[in-house]
């Protein structure tokens, strides 16, 4: 095992490089459980969302933060959370996650979401903003932009939004997947596609493959100019996506196309294609990955997922993320399962005489936070909220 001390893994301040706001709503049992799954459907009759690896891990690790012993009944757990109130519960979980920094995707919010400064206050750590390309395009559409002006209006809106961000993000995986033509579309193609889209009227949900490619290319170019990594959702997510089309190896041609720009790409979640993502990170200098979301979804299996991601990924290419959304439990649990999982993997390496404790601590510091601090330039002089 890694020796105890200030550099030990359980004390290591983590950078959560991809998460979302938490909700300030009072949650009854049903609302609470809906945050425990990516599925749009209820669990089978007579079962609950706690009957999952995530539910089990939550009942093991989260109750002590609220002053309960491990494994209370779900009823008792939700009751205790309600008694404490959402602000107290959120503050306890976000502080217990022991994060040095959070990068929050502000493009998709739970109901009654905390603001960026509120998240920073609750976590006691700086919170940096990540801007979603598709959300900006949809806002431009809703603002009444004309098709002929769409490329310029999108570029300007993205530049403005990027002023307060440390990264950009794409959810193209959710809008048809990665099997797209990797080349940048021409301005004429973009204007014609914008005309078709805008003439449909609201609500404006961007699904046109030409417009999505345009957003990605503009994001990659702006990211390169400003030193903002581009986060790309890959793999595991809600059933809006068709999983096999979210396999990041389908992005290989596009990854090659943008290599010359100098944009850093961070592949988010990746499960069950985390081995493919690790391969891409090993081959392409501008590609990074995390197994956020999968760590929570796998619960007791988190160490196994992490071990698979660590089979071939270079250590400077792996990042920590919880992908916590809505429930502050998810931000905490991601950190707790990551620390335990990484300690298990690296402890096994030490035990097997594959590395020393010094190597293990260095690897843990890289993956836990130093890689994110480096690529998102979190320690450069920049005004953080909080
Ligand atoms: Zn996310």
Condensed to tens digits (0 to 9), the pLDDT of residues 252-265 reads 999 999 999 999 99
Distances in Å between the Cα of 39 and the Cα atoms of 141, 227, 243 are: 29, 35, 13
CB distance 61 to 92 below 8 Å:
no
**Distance in Å, CA 323 to ligand 1 centroid:** 5
Under DSSP, the state recorded for 369 is I
- CA 5 to centroid of ligand 1, rounded, Å: 32
Write out pLDDT tens, residues 296-313. Answer: 999 999 999 999 999 999
- Residue 19 Cα, ligand 1 centroid: separation in angstroms? 6
Distance from C-alpha of 248 to C-alpha of 255, rounded to nearest angstrom: 10
pLDDT in tens, 184-236: 999 999 999 999 999 999 999 999 999 999 999 999 999 999 999 999 999 99
Cα 105 to middle of ligand 1, angstroms: 7
**Ligand 1 centroid – CA 329 distance (Å):** 15
Give 39 Cα–ligand 1 centroid separation in angstroms. 14
Q: pLDDT tens across 32-54, in order?
A: 999 999 899 999 999 999 999 99
Q: 127 C-alpha to center of ligand 1: Å?
A: 15
Q: What separation in Å is there between the alpha carbon of 237 and the centre of ligand 1?
A: 9
Give distance in angstroms: CA of 256 to centre of ligand 1: 25
User: How far, in Å, from the CA of 233 to the mean position of ligand 1?
Assistant: 8
| pTM, full prediction | 0.95
Per DSSP, the chain holds a count of helices (H) and strands (E) of 16, 8
How many A from CA of 2 to the centre of ligand 1? 30
Distance 44 CA to ligand 1 centre (A): 26
CA nearest 102: which of 90, 89, 87, 117?
Answer: 117
Q: How far is the CA of 290 from the centre of ligand 1 (A)?
A: 11
Q: What are phi and psi of 276, to 5 degrees?
A: -65, -45
- What whole-number percentage of the chain has pLDDT above 90? 93
Q: State the pLDDT at residue 142.
A: 97
Separation of CA 119 and ligand 1 centre (Å): 16
Q: With bands split at pLDDT 50, 70 and 90, how would you rate the model's confidence at 382?
A: low
Going from the Cα of 322 to the center of ligand 1, the distance in angstroms, rounded, reads 8
Q: What is the arithmetic mean of pLDDT over 72-101?
A: 98
Task: Give the closest residue to 210 by CA, choosing from 137, 160, 119.
Answer: 137
Strand 287-290 and strand 318-319: pairing?
Answer: parallel
What string of DSSP letters covers 313-356? S-GGGEE------B-HHHHHHHHHHHHHHHHHHHHHHHHTTSS-
Q: Which whole number is the average pLDDT over 92-105?
A: 98
Ligand 1 centre to CA of 177 (Å) is 16
Cα 170 to averaged position of ligand 1 atoms, centre (Å): 10
Cα 113 to middle of ligand 1, angstroms = 14
Residue of 165, 307, 294, 164 lying closest to 231 (CA atoms): 165
| Rounded distance from Cα 18 to ligand 1 centre (Å) | 6
């Amino acid at each position: 095992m890694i020796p105890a001390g200030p550099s030990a893994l359980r004390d290591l301040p983590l950078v959560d490089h991809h998460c979302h706001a938490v909700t300030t709503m009072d949650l009854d049992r049903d609302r609470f459980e809906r945050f425990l799954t990516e599925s749009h459907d209820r669990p089978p009759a007579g079962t609950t969302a706690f009957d999952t690896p995530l539910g089990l891990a939550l009942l093991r690790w989260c109750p002590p933060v609220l002053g309960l012993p491990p494994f209370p009944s779900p009823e008792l757990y939700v009751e205790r959370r309600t008694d404490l109130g959402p602000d107290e519960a959120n503050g306890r979980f976000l502080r217990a996650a022991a994060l040095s920094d959070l990068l929050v995707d502000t493009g998709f919010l739970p109901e009654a979401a905390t603001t960026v400064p509120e998240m920073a206050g609750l976590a006691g750590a700086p919170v940096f903003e990540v801007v979603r390309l598709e959300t900006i395009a949809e806002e431009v559409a809703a603002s009444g932009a004309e098709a002929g002006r769409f490329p310029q209006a999108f570029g300007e809106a993205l530049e403005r939004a990027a002023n307060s961000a440390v990264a950009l993000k794409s959810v193209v995986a959710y809008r048809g997947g990665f099997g797209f033509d990797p080349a940048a579309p021409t301005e004429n193609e973009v204007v014609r596609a914008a005309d078709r889209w805008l003439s449909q009227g609201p609500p404006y949900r961007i699904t046109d493959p030409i417009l999505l490619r345009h957003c990605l290319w503009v994001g990659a170019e702006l990211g390169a100019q400003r030193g903002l990594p581009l986060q790309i959702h890959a793999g595991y997510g809600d059933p809006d996506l068709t999983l096999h089309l979210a396999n990041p190896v389908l992005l290989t041609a596009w990854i090659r196309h943008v290599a010359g720009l100098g944009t850093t790409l961070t592949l988010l979640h990746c499960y069950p294609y985390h081995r493919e993502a690790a391969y891409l990170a090993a081959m392409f200098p501008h590609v990074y990955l995390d197994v956020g979301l999968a760590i929570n979804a796998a619960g007791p299996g988190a160490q196994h997922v992490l071990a698979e991601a660590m089979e071939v990924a270079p250590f400077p290419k792996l990042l920590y993320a919880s992908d916590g959304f809505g429930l502050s439990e998810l931000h905490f649990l991601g950190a707790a399962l990551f620390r335990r999982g990484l300690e298990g993997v690296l402890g096994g390496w030490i035990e097997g005489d594959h590395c020393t404790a010094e190597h293990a601590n260095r690897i843990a510091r890289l993956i836990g936070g130093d890689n994110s601090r480096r690529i998102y330039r979190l320690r450069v002089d920049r005004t953080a909220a909080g």
